[in-house]
A and B are shown apart, each in its own frame.
Chain A
């Protein structure tokens, strides 16, 4: 299967700071990227969809100014959680689509805001 690298796998940050999560497709080009978050004991919730070179589309209830998505190249997308608060603590997962629209998933980033 295709290789997706998501970094960091775990991060702890203080309230009010920003955290950047990177997602790279190592052996394919991803024109579309999905970003999910998952709270404990819950399913994955789609946050936003981004296409390379254009603005991301956010799901209802997701603040676009808080969760900044940059998809500047076909192999890299980033999610920045700005002014993080404890309620933003979650498991964040990226999912790039290859040119056949097959979806792959990163290993996830465990964010803890203290």
Chain B
């Protein structure tokens, strides 16, 4: 089955840029989606189809996807961005199914 690998944690100072990676075999050929989850809350979609943003999501959130790595980039990080972030794809290679990465805890120093 398809596996998505994320770093367990990323730390960044306020105002700096955070980059959260999501690794997978030839992930560049898939559409990658990113979710933000704050404690006690349901996940919220922040980037879909590699680099598109839903309405209401700040432009500070952006995404890219190439080769074996997809990246969520958060510019001008704010304290309110501290959360867990998950990448997700649809794996149609074998048994069609949804795959989530293990999640990355973003800490704002």
Do A and B make up one complex? no
Chain B residues at the A interface, C-beta cutoff of 8 Å: none
Chain A residues at the B interface, C-beta cutoff of 8 Å: none
